[in-house]
Every structure is written in C-alpha cells, then in structure tokens.
Amino acid sequence: MKETLHISNNQKINAFLLFFIVTATQIGVGIHGFQRVIYQDAKQDAWISVILSFLLAHIVVYIMMKTLDMYDSNDLYGIHIDIFGKYLGNFLNILYIFYCSSAFFVIVKNYTEVINTWVFPYLSSMFLCLSILSIIIYTFKGGFRVIIGICFFSFFFLLWIPPILIIPLKYSDLNYLLPILDNELKGILKGVMSMSFTIVGFEIINFVYPFLKNKTKYKRYVHLGMLFTLFLYLSIMFVSLTFFSGEQLMKTIWATLTLFGFIRLPFIERIEIITICLWMIIILPNLCLYMWAAYRGVQRMVNISVNKFLLIFSSIMFVSGIFINKRTDINLLNDWFGKYAFAVVFIYPFILFLCALLKRQIKKMQVSNSEKS
C-alpha cells in the first residue's frame, strides 16, 4: 500500500469548494426527522443540544485538520499505515471502509422509507433502492470532479428552506421554548450524542485533503460550511419546537416534512412531496462521497477496477436492504449507526491526533540521536 499520494493538478480542486462539500455531506436524510430524537432527550432545550453538537464538531474538525497538516500529501488511510504499521493500519482502514459503507446504506434505507411513506406507498422498496443505486453509479463513474460539481450544484437546492420557514412561524408559540435550561445537563448531552447521526459527514475532509490546491486556506471554508449547516438545522429546530407541542413532536417521525405539509402556496399544493423528490439531488453528493471514500480505501489495499468495485459494493447494499424494511429495523439501524458514528467521528480523531503527535516526537528524537552519534 502506498503511504503517500501523488495527485495530478487536473484532479485537484480549489479550497473554497470545501464549503459546498461540507454542507453537502452534513445535510442529508437526517434533517427530515432529527427533532423528535433530540427532543426525547433534551425536551424544550433541544436547540441547545444542536448548538453544542456543532461546537463539538468544530473542535473535532480542528483536531482532524491538525492531524492532516502533519501529512501534506496523504489521506486517512495512508496516515493509519504510517502511524500504526501495515497490519494494524489496514485493520483500522477496514473499519473506516465499513463506516463509509454503513453511512451509505443508512442514507439509502432512510430515503427509500421516506419515499415509500410519503410519495409511492405501493411501490417496492427494492425497486426504489435499485433506482437510487443506478443514479449513484452513473454519477460516480463521472469521477471525483463531477461529484464535487454535484456538491456545488446541490447547495442551491437548500436556499429555499430558510425563507419558507417564515410561514409556519405565524402559528408558532414561543412559550413552548420555556423554561430554558430546565432539563438536566445529562439530557442535553444525550441530545448532543443523538444529534451526531444527523451532522456527520464533515469527516470526508480526511480523504479530500490531498486533492486540495491551496492547503493554506482550506480551514476557513470547512468552518464556514459547518456554520451554514448549523444555521439551517437550528432554524428548523426553532420552528419545530415552537410550532409543535411536546406531545406532538414526540409522536412525529418526520417533523420537517410534516411541517412542510402545513404550508400552502398558490402555485404548489403539496410542498412536502416536491421536497422529497428534490432531496435526491441533495443527498446524491452525500452518497457519492461516501462511496468514493470507501473505494479509495479498497483501492489502496487491493488492486480493483472501478467497475468491479461498483458491482460488488452495489450488490452488497442491495442484498443487505432486503433484510431491513420495517420501521423498527430501520430505527435500530439508525441507533446503532449513531453510536458507531459518534465513536468514529467525534472520539477517534482525538486518539489519532495524539498518536500522530507521539509518532512525530519519536521521529524527532531518533533524528536528533542519530545526528549526535
């Protein structure tokens, strides 16, 4: 396995595109119903959990970037090999490939369920899954720069959400937010952990980093992208908390879609249906980037062509989807992935940074000792 990467200039991208990459990966199917999950833990202080989760995410991103800056031309897979050696490094790479594949599968299953529930209740979920996989494969085969282009394009499909949230604000009651900080800190922190499933995606910078042209400016765009997603999630959470009562929010699986269902425009009758259909464009770069990250890991471990990888990967995703169709199964899948994602995205970067720092200090000591001798 190669420990360093040599990326040609025609494959590299400008650093400002990280803003669109981060927003594309953080905004996915979780935005449809994250309110209920957070409210179960933090009640009316759920908005505080959202802010704290993003604050933690900014700290994690800072640590990730500090680790990446130690390896100017390497991604996470190469860093694992450099720090932990071939066998343990490859084992960690396999775990990360499994994480990317799991994220891909969870997004597909959740989006398929939303389509089955809201748009096509009598259509086979397997047919929907196969259709989504076909779109993803077609996009993926365009290459890395095409995927980044989709990230840029999908961003503009999000800009209509904040203005349209003004409509339900007319029927909102700010008293639902009171009393503030009335819940235990434990509940708010549990809400932060529950939010992890929704806001993961920024860890994709671990693989995009070697493809950046101007690495001196990329950090600001990552943080700006995360601030935009914070604004979007916080806006939706505020409107949901003031529009729904606590009992209603506890019983509403997809609060965002239900919220849109109350909106009536003169030229659009069912805005939530259009939202679900347009959401395919929004989650497409999300899915492609996770598949691309998994492919990068597999490619660096074994010699495999793109077509062969796509065939194997898609087959595994399709067959796995046959066994998980019920709402209870999808809930268990989401809960499991949320805990797995919290460990991989929010805890592991600190461990990796300490190991990279220790490895760097050991190398410096070895160099100084060799110079003295």
Task: Provide mean pLDDT across the span 243-270.
Answer: 85
Whether 4 is in a domain gets the answer no
d(CA 105, CA 287): 9
Name the band, by pLDDT with cuts 50, 70 and 90, for residue 282: very high
Whether 2 is in a domain gets the answer no
pLDDT of residue 197: 79
Q: Residue 278 CB: number of other CB atoms within 10 A?
A: 13
CB 314 within 8 A of CB 287: no
Taking only the tens place, the pLDDT of each residue in 111-121 is 999 999 999 98
pLDDT of residue 1: 39
pTM exceeding 0.75: yes
Q: Which of 159, 143, 168 is nearest to 20 (CA)?
A: 159
User: Of residues 9 and 88, which shows the higher confidence score?
Assistant: 88
CB 309 within 8 A of CB 295: yes
Task: Provide mean pLDDT across the span 237-249.
Answer: 92
Whether 1 is in a domain gets the answer no
Report the share of the chain in percent with pLDDT over 90: 66
Whether 23 is in a domain gets the answer yes
Query: Is 60 exceeded by the pLDDT of residue 64?
Result: yes
pLDDT of residue 306: 94
Query: Is 70 exceeded by the pLDDT of residue 367?
Result: yes
Query: Is 50 exceeded by the pLDDT of residue 187?
Result: yes
Taking only the tens place, the pLDDT of each residue in 302-344 is 989 999 999 999 999 999 988 888 888 998 999 999 999 999 9
Whether 138 is in a domain gets the answer yes
Q: What is the CATH number of the domain that holds 117?
A: 1.20.1740.10
pLDDT of residue 3: 52
CB 26 within 8 A of CB 226: yes
Find the range with the poorest average confidence among 117-121, 259-263, 275-279, 335-339: 259-263
User: How buried is residue 235: exposed, middle or buried, by Cβ count under 10 Å (0-12/13-18/19+)?
Assistant: middle
pLDDT of residue 373: 63
Whether 37 is in a domain gets the answer yes
Name the band, by pLDDT with cuts 50, 70 and 90, for residue 2: very low
Query: Is 80 exceeded by the pLDDT of residue 353?
Result: yes
d(CA 332, CA 324): 10
d(CA 337, CA 139): 25
Query: Is 80 exceeded by the pLDDT of residue 372?
Result: no
Report the share of the chain in percent with pLDDT over 70: 98
165: DSSP letter: T
Domain assignment of residue 223, given as a range:
9-372
**Total of domains in the chain:** 1
Taking only the tens place, the pLDDT of each residue in 124-171 is 999 999 999 999 999 999 999 999 999 999 999 999 889 988 888 888
Task: Provide mean pLDDT across the span 342-353.
Answer: 95
